[in-house]
Structure 1
């Protein structure tokens, strides 16, 4: 009698409601059925590899010669329709996102140097002021949606400050960056408007330089062209907005729903750092990332990868890899080996993660200081996650609190269009 081998399961579709409802369970299923590197289908059933193993993602990010960043290497371009919803993630442009080798190091190095020039004490102080101003708008009402009215607004208001952006342009920029990060029909037109705004800003900084990121890039020894600066400012703005906003929102949610934080919620400061760190492990804002592209035929975790194949980096899945996942019940809260900011030369350039942490931590701390009896206005199970395979964030975070009188609820210093 001959045993019939069990056929390996076919590729999973990396889209649809299964990812919106319980992505962690689905990542565990993928790892159990396929191992750390799994065949998947993207929208339109285009094939790719989903990498859920921590060690394998580490290997990919360390070997930029074998697993390159330029999306033009993809071997499926002849099957991509013009209206493909993931086109904003893979359409090549000459920004730092898609450069490789020495050119990438030149561009990323300039961004890192410009961010290093940001005084983090000044950044925190400005963040405190803006957070107070946003809270002033709703503090007297006793209720708020902390996604729309707070978390989504803070990061780009900080980016606008670091960019030296004129105040009247901030609301439109925030709106268009949010649209450009979506997969809907408005994404590409919105990206064009953001690019035009950055072009005007760079032209203004040539004439009137200041202590801001565009001026730093203009003056940098890398001799960046205006086109390079515009495109790289777009990358910085996009990378700062949605991930940091979701980091803030997911942290507030954790602190309002997990009893481990309840006893310290009134004081807040003792546990905000712990909650921020835990969110990066458990509900990291950037769940999955496109990606890397094989420069030659190779093998990875027993799978045959062909030249030009796309590898989707499952950052959230890697964070949940049993081989590395910390046990938060045992207070392993200092472990920062998560993949949430990427890894290797294409990870977030230093000190971008530190800048994002200053913004997120200050934003949460000011909220808890101002509204110490903050609580969810709906049962926790009614909170709805944004329907995205790529980002992890709530659609709304309705809360209630004791109304607080403020001398002015106009949000002075916050653009009036908010």
Structure 2
């Protein structure tokens, strides 16, 4: 079954259920261009793959289909080997990931909250007087990169071009490769500057880390951190705002207590997780998984959204996941989001929603909930727009 096309744009969950019913927890699929892969749908199977890097590895050079992949394949930014922490394995991965984790762990969360709130206030100031706004294009998608570049010690003047290129590089379009290359060049310039003039920021801490990272390693890994923050966190904010604006369980307390914000953030990670599928892992040797024969070099796509909805671990599929944080939305194992990235991401998302509720307490959806449209991506789950109306600020 094709793992692309319009069937994924609005209700991908229906397709995951169909695949599960037809094939079980591991389904044969084809990616764009007819490229074969395995989609791992089962929660236990995703957990097993992510927990066994010796069997299911990250180095994409193991792929047995490279001879059939054109250089301009739209998904090349996801699978083309680059010497970043994403594709490292074993001790090398632990060295690189450890430096990232330590640099992020040094971020003061009170300072991060202040940066987030200041960023959100600046954005809301731009549309508060109108009484109407698109909370995706004017708010959610502008927050993460602005916050992260401040943690990186980058000048605000670099923002417009950087935001554009990050978004394009994560889409499945012809310009993705060129946008990725421009972003890499900006990260190299940043690292060169921090090498000369270090500061209290993430790049400087990585350069000074005992792991002894080279400038190129730091540049490439900073790009990974930035890209991992932008689309996933932006969509986490947007998807949570959609839930709170359309679901009476949250709309009742939209202008009230904050307990519902944390509940909404967690429910979105279960029901509409920003990273739907992750490409991927490559089998080190022949094996069996979910009743399927996996050949050495086969590509496995981790179906994070499908795993979260697996009826074998969630027999009651009704909404309501308060207190349950066992979702796969941040991955699992040594190649999951590095600690404390998920915690910092939640600070950004929770701050963004909290500031909006404080500033625009009567915000309401300006269109019918059924008019909202999801972006047609197999990999990310996010809306095109989220138009709202509210009382204009005086």
Q: TM-score, normalised by structure 2?
A: 0.98
Asked if the contact 2:266–2:321 (Cα under 8 Å) also holds between the matched residues in 1, the reply is no
Asked if the contact 1:143–1:399 (Cα under 8 Å) also holds between the matched residues in 2, the reply is yes
Partner of 1:244: 233
SS in 1 for 2:281: strand
> Once the two structures are superposed, what CA deviation does each residue of 1:126-175 show, in whole Å capped at 9, x if it has no partner?
11111111101100000001101000010001101110001111111111
> Once the two structures are superposed, what CA deviation does each residue of 1:247-277 show, in whole Å capped at 9, x if it has no partner?
0000000000001012101125121000000
Partner of 1:228: 217
- CA-CA distance at 1:81 after TM superposition: 1.3
Partner of 1:34: 23
CA distance in 1: counterparts of 2:342 and 2:13, whole angstroms? 24
Q: Does 1:105 align with 2:99?
A: no
Partner of 1:413: none
Which 5+ residue runs of structure 1 have no aligned equivalent? 1-11, 406-418
Partner of 2:163: 174
Deviates more, 1:166-175 or 1:33-42: 166-175
SS in 1 for 2:146: helix
> Once the two structures are superposed, what CA deviation does each residue of 1:83-105 show, in whole Å capped at 9, x if it has no partner?
21111110100000100000001
Q: Map residues 226-305 of structure 1 onto 2, 5 A cutoff.
A: 226-305=215-294
Q: Does 1:212 align with 2:201?
A: yes
Q: Does 1:364 align with 2:350?
A: no
Q: 1:13 aligns with which of 2, 17, 26?
A: 2
SS in 2 for 1:124: helix
Q: Does 1:47 align with 2:36?
A: yes
Partner of 2:371: 382
SS in 2 for 1:104: helix
Asked if the contact 2:267–2:319 (Cα under 8 Å) also holds between the matched residues in 1, the reply is no
> Taking structure 1 as reference, are residues 274 and 327 closer, same or farther at Cα in structure 2, changes over 3 Å only?
farther
Asked if the contact 2:104–2:341 (Cα under 8 Å) also holds between the matched residues in 1, the reply is yes
Q: 2:177 aligns with which of 182, 185, 188?
A: 188
Partner of 1:339: 328
CA distance in 1: counterparts of 2:316 and 2:109, whole angstroms? 31
Q: Does 1:199 align with 2:188?
A: yes
Q: 2:51 aligns with which of 59, 62, 66?
A: 62
- Shift >3 Å, 4+ stretches: 326-332
CA distance in 2: counterparts of 1:328 and 1:252, whole angstroms? 21
CA distance in 2: counterparts of 1:108 and 1:326, whole angstroms? 35
Tell me the matched-pair count: 394
- CA-CA distance at 1:327 after TM superposition: 5.0
Deviates more, 1:276-285 or 1:190-199: 190-199
Asked if the contact 2:263–2:321 (Cα under 8 Å) also holds between the matched residues in 1, the reply is no
SS in 2 for 1:299: strand
Partner of 1:391: 380
Asked if the contact 2:232–2:274 (Cα under 8 Å) also holds between the matched residues in 1, the reply is yes
CA distance in 2: counterparts of 1:359 and 1:17, whole angstroms? 31
CA distance in 1: counterparts of 2:227 and 2:81, whole angstroms? 16
Q: Does 1:324 align with 2:313?
A: yes
Asked if the contact 1:267–1:369 (Cα under 8 Å) also holds between the matched residues in 2, the reply is no
Partner of 1:352: 341
Q: TM-score, normalised by structure 1?
A: 0.93
CA distance in 2: counterparts of 1:359 and 1:325, whole angstroms? 28
> Taking structure 1 as reference, are residues 344 and 168 closer, same or farther at Cα in structure 2, changes over 3 Å only?
same
CA distance in 2: counterparts of 1:291 and 1:51, whole angstroms? 10
Q: 1:311 aligns with which of 300, 307, 319?
A: 300
Asked if the contact 1:134–1:150 (Cα under 8 Å) also holds between the matched residues in 2, the reply is yes
> In terms of Rg, which structure is larger?
1
Asked if the contact 2:311–2:317 (Cα under 8 Å) also holds between the matched residues in 1, the reply is no
Partner of 1:155: 144
> Taking structure 1 as reference, are residues 329 and 60 closer, same or farther at Cα in structure 2, changes over 3 Å only?
closer
Partner of 1:3: none
